[in-house]
Structure 1
Amino acid sequence: MLDIHKIRAEFPILSQKVNGKPLVYFDNGATSQKPQVVIDAISKYYQEINANIHRGVHTLSQLATDAYEISRVKIQHHINAKHLHEVLFTSGTTHGINLVANGFAAILKPGDEVLVSALEHHSNIVPWQMLCEKTGAILKVIPMNQDGELIISAYESLLSEKTKIVTVNHISNALGTINPIKYMIEKAHAVGAAVLIDGAQAVPHLKPDVLDLDCDFYAFSGHKMCGPTGTGILYGKESWLNKLPPYQGGGEMIKEVTFEKTTYADLPHKFEAGTPNIAGGIVLGTAVDYMNSVGFENIQQQEKELLAHATKQLLEIEGLKIYGTGKEKASVISFNIDGIHPYDIGSIIDKLGIAVRTGHHCTQPIMNYFEIPGTIRASFSFYNTKEEIDLMVEAVKKAKTMLS
């Protein structure tokens, strides 16, 4: 069991007031808050070892390089990657997805097929559309149902020898649906297709085991799991990373450069051109340590209880509808109230200190499917409480009364 008061004391921002009210932060799906240990680690880097990495013989450069590469080892162990060089530092999930999509431009030919799901964030749709336009490949969509779950029988029917890559999120950012990715990976591999998993919304809630999943690529961001913004990881199987060409050219990613020919560095540096977000990469390791110290079993239990409590309380409000009612869900609730625009609800409850997200959540195809302009999304983290949920519910009731 978590000592929730101790946990909350570790997050400085949670003690502040917004519009004169105690902050209730339910926008964790957009970004999580940061514990003091992460904030301190950022300052420590710049105060004590700020230097460029991999390039210097001087002491500070070696200290920075060691800290950066130790962070890579931490992340390798966290996701259970077989090889250290399968762990690439990126600026976030979007960067990782674009890196893979760009690489597949050298692999796909006209008539090949790319499968995405109806539940995807725009960042896992647009790069594949761009890829298909460039290569003549065909984008196909795995449909969803009214519960916000993927229709797996339709997915199985879409798979064929033409399918070259399947790209799907682990957890939907808009609805909270947890997709059956292990089964989907197995089915894709049976037809020879690669699989990329967008894990941005999964890593705050669970530890992905990439060896057990057998995915070919797994991308995620650091800022949603208590780490700094501008950080992320792309895991890729060694065999696939060796097949793909570099995403960017520049320093760090080369072995030798002449005006006649350039040879590329070995993995992982082949995909890490230029000076990276050194502080961010190091502190992402700090955030991973922190999340593991809290314990993912504890995190899941706390968030399961929050989800159940919020669902029950919100459904008691007349005219309120929840979107995303699948059997397997993370701690995300998207909802609307009949006749009221989600933006109006969000604006009013912000005045009462409640931070939620309103809009389409970069998932316009989902909103189009439900024929709505957007939703109010409350996304919970392990540092949230049932008392905060009660405050949100009362704020929503008040907003409804004002707007009705």
Structure 2
Amino acid sequence: MTDLVPIDKINISGGTQSRATLDQDTINDYRDALQAGATFPPVTVFYDGSHYWLADGFHRVHAHIMRRVSNIEAEVRQGTCRDAVLYSVGANASHGLRRTNADKRRAVETLLEDEEWGKWSDREIARRCGVDNSFVSRLRKAVTVDEPQSERTYTTKHGTVATMQVANIGKAPPSGITDQWRAEAADSLAGGREQSDPVAANRNAPCSRPHRADYSGDNEWYTPARFVEMARSVLGQIDVDPASNDHAQKTVKAATYYTAETNGLDKEWNGTVWMNPPFGRGVIALFIDKLVQEYGSGRTTEAIALVNNNTDTGWFNSLFNHSTAVCFVKGRIPFYSPTRPGGPGLPQGQAFAYFGLKPVRFFEVFSAVGNVVNMMKPAHAAHVDEDLPLVKEWLSKAAA
């Protein structure tokens, strides 16, 4: 069924976007075409009785938002967020903006990392995502190095679905490693990389799960005040902290902040933003997509996001491509907990991503703790007159 759907009713931050990143040039082209009177094919949404989950047409929706169009023609299908995700991974395989290898990788990883879909055969995942079997096979090996599957489903020659236990194939349990040790190791990592899956946890619940599922003290690690004050010196003030809690605000002191209960993903982020999002796989992408959306809309005027430097992920590439400057921290940030000694034992370093028109100021402050990369690019073309003197100053400093 095709219908006109209010754009503000369509959920575009619910984790149903399967591309590695949206292409700003394409969005701008669509915006200009709309202004010239062009019409586009309907987008595809899934309606669960409460939410319209966008499954196909993210570039078109963003172009309509930029043109301040209130409604958009949509093919409305009955289904949940998971239905939208499953549809999205195969979208654009044969139409629309051509998918990049990173887009295909993100689509496949979306299924592989899901508790249910990850048990499907390589052939079935390849069919759903519109890719080759060997591509899925290579990615499965990559994503299961640290989290081996215990089961995999397959279709028998009789057409029935069976389940194979695969956890112990070709492996022997290491001597001396107990269940207690495994549990303690998992708990140690939980503070920095929450392991909950926002999509698989509840098929009928909204995909945009709140910031952290568990706000118990042992699972919370906080940013040292030094780094928050560095961000404040760049931003001037912190208007919004969308992923926080009461304890963190003793340091951040944002005018507005959102917690697990109030869910910042459902709110507008107006003004300057400081964000230390949950590092859990799948969850962090929701906050990055939301930040890119809020900055692109103009509601967020400046922002600094603190993330792990997972440069091989789709969400990090989205952050990298849409930000103004990025600081790759030298060493690792000593996150702290009020209830536990030591740090969370994160297995990688961190990065600060800056969105705004003061890259030189960001460089002056954050070059003290890491290597800063200037990302001025056409995505900021709307502010080119304001950016130009900053870019000239940046280049003169870099040449010195």
With the shorter chain as reference, the TM-score category is: under 0.3
| TM-score normalized by the length of structure 1 | 0.23
Select the structure that is richer in helix.
Answer: 1
| TM-score normalized by the length of structure 2 | 0.23
Instruction: Report 1 or 2 for greater relative contact order, CA contacts < 8 Å, sequence distance ≥ 6.
Output: 1
